[in-house]
Amino acid sequence: MSSIPALEIHELRKVYATGVEALKGVSLIVQPGDFFALLGPNGAGKSTLIGIVSSLVNSSSGSVKVFGVDIEQDREAAMRLLGLVPQEVNFNFFEKPFDILCNYAGFYGIARAEARLRAEQELRRAQLWDKAHTMARTLSGGMKRRLMIARAMMTRPRLLILDEPTAGVDIEIRRGMWRILKEVNAAGTTVILTTHYLEEAESLCRNLAIINGGQIIENGPMKTLLAKLDVEGFLLDIDGELPATLPQINGVQVRAEDSHTLDLEMPRAMDLNSVFASLDAAGIRVRSMRTKTNRLEELFMRLTGGKEAAA
Amino acid sequence: MSAISSHPNLTALLTITRREMTRILRIWAQTLVPPAITMTLYFLIFGSLIGRRIGDMGGYDYMDFIVPGLVMMAIIQNSYGNISSSFFGAKFGRHIEEMLVSPMPNWVILGGYVAGAVLRGLLVGVIVLCIAMLFTHVRIPHPLITITTVLLGATIFSLAGFINAVYAKKFDDVAIVPTFILTPLTYLGGVFYSVKLLPDWAQVMTHANPIFYMVNAFRYGLLDSSDVPIGVAYALMIGFVLVLGALGLWLLKRGIGLRS
């Protein structure tokens, strides 16, 4: 595999005409073949970053290279390597999916005959072939998002960037999109993803960066970052009602969620058996147990100072 | 085997042009029928009914005199209207981003939209000319001048429409220029009268109107008659194409109204 990074961002800054400093010297490297998550609260600078990489936003300073090609010095070559699935639907609603895909390929100089072949392949993969010749405005929200992925894949990009591709779609469609993205990544395409669903990032991505206030505050392998969490939370459903006085367990925060549910927060290294033994001694019998929060969400909330909206 | 064609920019240019033509034909009731109806009414009222009482204009039957001006007016208005509405629509619907993130050079984007607008102008021009044939005998003594004038005129107003669309922030902004600038310039550009009928001061002012030169160059192509030297008309039209084309490319390069 090539040693040239799929994406290399150095000291990227963006100050909008309004004076808002959206990026404050962001540096980031994404290796080829990676499945990379870019997370951050709303207004953190993710969309500005993606906008600059895809040449929709002009940077104030800094550099961006796609597979070693500087987007300022050779924009055409850099854009040929890049595919973008934006946050907002941005195809012509009055065109048909087949035409949208063929025209998009044409913008990249792909001959019409080849574009037609690819359009059928991509629409079939996105399970949209039966909608190929209907007006795009009649597609459902999930179909529109799948169409944007199909469109981006028409040019066989080496780097695919998706800005919240599964926002607002139901779980079945979301999992279908995950399958497509896994296939794309397995075929060698580097994928960068921003998402509101942190479980999505945790299940798909190998590396991640968290951006907040226009700066990268964390960057590394998913496993390493999650290992930094030293506390885990559990919700325990108990038989009967909780006693009026909850047991004191050393090192564990015990709180009643309601009269039938206990909320525990404990060190990751702590033995669960000792906790259950203490509960048993207090006459509390546990019927079932579930993790309180998504682990990545927990990490995210800690790093970004508990801002509610993720990604 | 590389999927990229041997002339990727040409493929991209033809893609935009094809898309524009598909749009024009898909909404034919908005793009092709209205100019046909409007021009039929012009020919009927000004040419046939009122024209009979006017008699000669510039040495020609009044109906013959207004045909070149009305055809040119239709070409100008439709070229301008096509690109301003289509490009602004692409901005408004955000599908302009499909092109902005592509490797297409700016001249291809501009060229594709201008080609689409010029083709609509030509299509409407042919329709209006065919309607004119129902009212009078149309002959074309200078076909080369006729076609080059049409192409230059349509290109100039396509480029102007493009610049309008780049700056436009809402649909009202696209309508302002045609209403307050294009229509007055067209009506005062010698479509319905010879400039020689005007007082001296008005003749001088008319010579500052670019549409006046286009209408007269086109009239020369169809009637062998013009109020201005044909060479001057060509020099001005080519100058406008170069200046507006350069401005359009500069706007795309700077990303004004397109990239934040």
Task: Specify the pLDDT at position A265.
Answer: 81
In the prediction, which pLDDT does A200 show?
A: 80
Considering only CB atoms, A106 lies closest to which of B12, B22, B255, namely B12
- The alpha carbon of residue B124 is apart from the nearest alpha carbon of chain A, in Å, by 23
**Residue type, position A205, single letter:** C
Quote the minimal CA–CA distance from A49 to chain B in Å: 12
Residue numbers of chain A with a pLDDT score lower than 50 = 308-311
Q: What is the pLDDT of residue B20?
A: 95
Angle (nearest 5°) at CA A144 between A142 and A147: 110
Question: What pLDDT is recorded for position B162?
Answer: 96
**Would you state the structure tokens that stand for residue A87, as one six-digit string?**
């946050």
Whether the ipTM is more than 0.90: the answer is no
CA distances in angstroms from B77 to A37, A290, B72, B127, B157, listed in the order given: 50, 68, 9, 14, 8
- C-alpha B51: how far from chain center: 26
B71 and chain A in contact, CB less than 8 A = no
* Chain A: residue whose CA lies nearest to B17: A103
Q: Which residues contact B99 (CB under 8 A, 6 or more apart)?
A: A107, B16, B90, B109
pTM of this structure? 0.83
Q: What is the pLDDT of residues B168-218, one digit of tens each?
A: 998 889 888 888 888 888 888 888 888 888 888 888 888 888 889 988 898
Bridge-partner residues for A223, per DSSP? Answer: none
Average pLDDT rounded to a whole number, residues B76-93:
93
- Nearest CB to B103; choose among A16, A80, A90: A80
Task: Search chain A and give the residue with CA nearest B87.
Answer: A92
**pLDDT, mean over chain B:** 89
Q: Does A144 touch chain B (CB under 8 A)?
A: no
A84 CB neighbours in chain B (<8 A) are: 101
User: Rounded to an integer, what is the distance from CA B11 to the centroid of its chain?
Assistant: 25
pLDDT given for residue A239 in this prediction: 87
Contacts of B15 in chain A (CB under 8 A): 103, 106-107
- The residue of chain A with its CA nearest to that of B96 is A90
Nearest-Cα residue of chain A relative to residue B14: A106
Residue among B3, B18, B95 whose CB faces A110 most closely: B3
- Report yes or no: B83 and B118 within 8 Å, Cβ to Cβ: no
Q: Which residues of B touch A75 (CB under 8 A)?
A: 103
At B108-135, the pLDDT tens digits run 999 999 999 999 999 999 999 999 888 8
